Chains A and B, each alone.
Chain A
Amino acid sequence: MKILVAIKQVPERDAQIRVAADGKWIDEDDLSYTINEPDAYALEEALQLKEKNGGEVVVVCAGPERVTSTLREALAKGADRAIHIEADDLGERDTLGIAQMLADAMKGEAADLILTGLQSDDLGLGQTGVVLAELLGIPHATIIMQVEKTDSGLRVKRELEDGWFQHVEMPLPALLTIQSGGNKLRYATLMGIKKAKTKETATVTASAAGAKAVSLEKVYLPEKQKKTEMLTGTPAEIATQLVEKLKFEVRVL
């Protein structure tokens, strides 16, 4: 089974976020980046499917030069090959533009299965995978926890709301968006890191950005709606104040 995994590089979770001077995105200057968490689970699922069924895992990432570090990490974890779609202007493209870029890079690969994370930690639109499937004309399923290869295609476990699940059977080729937590993530081994150096990363140039259907006009800190009483002082002082609240306001002590 040939599996493509679309991964995205996003700001590190604990990064101090500042709005950029033009108010249109965040200040990227001294941000550190990492793989989008659900994408890490998508990669893990791909690697496990390959271990069970054989085949090849190819990771694909669009973005500027810096995203190659995320591709290298994926190679070190066990992906066989990487495709870097070089584009410095992701902000100038909407979901359809990004998905089109991925579709162009993936078409020639004739993959059996395409995996992505269910949404990104930064934009959180949760659509790239579904739009990509639509552009490629293949079936999709979202928020997937488990994937099983069957004689006729796939049997996947979809998460529904409130602790419900559902199995879905689907033919190949197909696209799945993967939810966090279905598998345990592996770390890159020293051996893996060494091997990654010999693996191929193909660089393709993205076609020029087209017109956007939607645009992000402005980013800003949310205005606080609720009056939260902030407690300050040393830890012991804060604890004393909290106990007062628990006794006399919340009444649970």
Chain B
Amino acid sequence: MSGVLVVMEQRAGVLNRMSLEALAAGQQLAAKVGGGCVAAVVSEAGGLKVAGVEKVYSVEHALLKDYTSDGYVDALEQLVKKVQPSYVLFPHTYQVRDFAPALATRFMQVLISDATAIHDGPVFVRQLLQGKLNADYKQTGDGPCFVSVQAGSFRADAEAGADAAVEVFTPELNAGMIRNKPGEPFRESAQTVDLSAAPVIVSVGRGIGEESNISIVEELATALGAEMAASRPICDNGWLPMERQVGSSGQTVSPKLYLAVGISGAIQHLVGMKGSKAVIAINKDENAPIFEVADYGVVGDLFEIVPALTKAVLAAKS
């Protein structure tokens, strides 16, 4: 057992950005532990190019056309047994969340999920309590170590170099062992609100407490000529429509100003708004992770700060 195997994710023949970040993490890890870095891509018929590694395994089978956990776990179990890497890295995508824990179980190992950094040891850093704390994890078992990496934690290399040599790997799969029948992906309904173009966004989170309080944030948004957005729990509760949700399961925005009110800053929210030019956060908890991405921060009660700000904005405009 040696080296690092990075399992990359493709959709319709395109590798996603998080896979390139996972590859960067794999290279970083390989530099620490030695043994080199190879990649794998699972697909129906191969044809994908990966740069910056020694070799890429193209895991190909007709039964891998549509993603199923059963198909992926069986195929990758066979690949890991063949390649014998010390570490297997993945991007922490929805798909990886669906199969990688089961794959690790096949080897009686535990996936270290959603890692944000890799230190010497190697020690894998991940967040606890939705980003309030960090934790260091180490592998103590002696099989391959499975790790998924968080979006945005590693910088994908722009100049990746030459395309890697491809080795086709055909796993033994049979249709009978694939128990789930996946349907085509779909979107709920046509989106009528496009937040991606909004120059100013005022976003409200669970700190607002009750639906009837949302009006104080709406007044601020109106004063600023801003679009309203929200964190997931606000939309889950039906206090604002789903299409105003920002984050990994909502919209991705990059306004001139993103003003976050009573939002803690969980990673699934941050990935949707990290690209904003300026971020202002109002939160009563000085340790809230939202301050990690904020240019200006106010630690305080939103019920005092927001009305005062609305008043000041209106005064400045008149």
Contact = CB atoms under 8 A, between A and B. Distances in A.
Contacts of A180: 232-233, 236
B112 A167 contact: no
Given A143-B94, A217-B136, A127 B113 contact: yes
Contact of A131 (B102, B199, B251, B299): B102
A128 to B, nearest CB: 8
B44 interface: no
Contact of A236 (B238, B277, B312): B312
Contacts of A163: 187-188, 191, 249-251
Interface of B: 69-70, 73, 93-94, 97-99, 101-102, 104-106, 108-114, 123, 126-141, 143, 145, 179-188, 191, 199-200, 206, 224, 232-233, 235-238, 248-252, 256-257, 277-278, 280-281, 287, 289, 291-300, 304-305, 307-309, 311-313, 316-317
Nearest to B145: A214
Task: Classify chain A: how many residues form its interface, as a range.
Answer: 35 or more
Chain B contact residues: helix, strand, loop or mixed: mixed
A126 B97 contact: yes
Given A123-B128, A228-B296, A238 B305 contact: yes
Contact of A222 (B110, B131, B179): B131
Contact of B102 (A121, A126, A134, A246): A134
Contacts of B256: 250-252
Interface in A15-41: 17, 19, 26
B317 A17 contact: no
Contacts, number: 256
A240 B141 contact: no
Contacts of B294: 226, 228
B110 A164 contact: no
Given A124-B114, A159-B94, A229-B295, A168 B130 contact: no
A156 B248 CA distance: 20
Given A26-B133, A217-B138, 15 more contacts: A96-B105, A124-B128, A125-B113, A134-B106, A161-B93, A164-B186, A181-B237, A212-B141, A213-B108, A221-B134, A222-B131, A226-B294, A238-B300, A239-B305, A252-B224
